[in-house]
Amino acid sequence: GLKFCSTRNRSGGSMRRRVVEGQTFRDNKVDELHAASSDESDEVKLSKKNGEVCNNGQAGTQGDPSMLKVQCLKDFMARLAFVGIFLTENIMHGVFFEQEVDGMVTPALAPLPREAAVCLHLVHVIFGLFGAAFVLISGLDTAGRTALTKGTSMMLVFMSTITWTWWINRQGVLYWDVDPYPFWDPRCSAEKRNRTVHILKNISIVGALTMYQQIAKYERAASTARPSFFEGLVTALRPWSFTATIAPQLVALAVIRCYLRIPLPGYAATFMLLLSIMAIQAVANLVNSLKDFERGIDTRENAGDRTLVDALVTPGLLKFLALVGIAWWITYFCWSVVATNFHIAVLGLTTLG
């Protein structure tokens, strides 16, 4: 009997140990679940906190991995603060175009003729204005991977040339000829120190633009997300190809004015002419994309232009944009010919375009 009781007691003790161990196991599991729930709750709280600032932080949750897309007002204002000054600056360059050509650009490019200064200042205005606009609107869409890289490239050209004409060779006086003292020397002139500050500022802006551009390139190479509608539209228009049209026109203007001695009809008409030629270039790009797609040259496997093969935009939209570009060119052609009293330069350049 004692043996039986002993055995039963040992068995009961074993059972009690199992019950205690099971209870401990369940308690541990409950603790783990509580901990996981607490972590999840913290994440939800953090998400809500971020949502108050950036619209619930939806980047990456809806198939858009772009870190360059504007997600809240703060993002847009930061971008506007970065490039807004360039928009304002180039609008002012356009308003005071002739005064700046005569007072700043022409002396900086001497002994090149004034016509070269006019061409370079046009590049300043066009590249600076469109480049800044591209950087600004790229944040509204995943086109940041396209528009941002091209916009920063335009702004880099603008910053390089404007630094030379405005600060390194200001009014024909080179930076190192202002005085013989380095800028940290107390004997250095205020003019040289002022130039130094602006040159260093422009160098820092070039560095920021380059960094911004490289981030966009790296993200575009690593991203597997489908390009967006706006990115397809930018790709179809290919505005970075406009320089192939603008450059010959600027050379032609310089030849007509400088060597043939034919006076130009005015800066407004000339600038609008350049814009109309850019519209024709855009039409050519759109028609090229459309015809290559319709003839089967661009396919999903080998197309370099993904606009239509990936259905980023419809063929109907491309046709509509092409008609808008042609209408703009025809309208300008009629206006320019009449407004300039059938000026031979306008007729020749528009026909050439």
Q: Is the pLDDT of residue 204 over 80?
A: yes
202 confidence band (pLDDT: 50, 70, 90): very high
Which residues, at least 6 apart from 220, have a Cβ–Cβ distance to it below 8 Å?
Answer: 145, 146, 149
Model confidence at 165: pLDDT above 50 = yes
Distance CA 196, CA 183 (A): 7
The answer to whether residue 285 scores a pLDDT higher than 60 is yes
Check residues 178 and 48 and name the one with the higher pLDDT. 178
Highest mean predicted confidence (pLDDT) among 6-20, 103-117, 309-323: 103-117
Residue 122's CB is within 10 A of a number of other CB atoms, namely 22
Q: What is the DSSP letter of 262?
A: P
Q: How far apart are the first and last CA of the chain?
A: 117
Sequence-distant (≥ 6) Cβ neighbours of residue 83 within 8 angstroms: 132, 133, 135, 136, 155
Q: How many CB atoms lie within 10 A of CB 12?
A: 11
CA 230 – CA 5 distance, rounded (Å): 85
Residue 181 φ then ψ, to 5°: -105, 145
- pTM listed for this prediction: 0.61
pLDDT (mean) for 107-136: 86
Query: Does residue 259 register a pLDDT over 80?
Result: no
**Which whole number is the average pLDDT over 187-212?**
93
- Find the mean pLDDT for residues 63-92: 82
Tally of CB atoms within 10 A around 31: 10
Q: φ, ψ for residue 173 (rounded to 5)?
A: -110, 115
β-bridge mates for residue 203, sequence order = none
Is there a contact between 138 and 215 (Cβ–Cβ < 8 Å)? no
CB-based burial of residue 267 (10 Å sphere; 0-12 exposed, 13-18 middle, 19+ buried)?
A: middle
- Integer Cα distance of 105 and 83 in angstroms: 23
Dist CA 208 CA 134 (whole Å): 16
Res. 316 pLDDT band, cuts 50 70 90: confident
Helical residues (DSSP H) of the chain, grouped into ranges: 2-54, 73-95, 97-100, 106-109, 114-138, 147-163, 190-222, 229-237, 243-254, 267-294, 315-339, 344-352
Question: Which is nearest to 97 in space by CA: 265, 267, 264?
Answer: 267
What pLDDT was estimated at residue 142? Answer: 55
In this predicted structure, the answer to whether residue 52 has a pLDDT above a threshold of 50 is no
What confidence tier does 48 reach under pLDDT thresholds 50, 70, 90?
A: very low
Sign of torsion over alpha carbons 137, 141, 144, 146: negative
What is the distance of C-alpha 235 from the center of its chain? 13
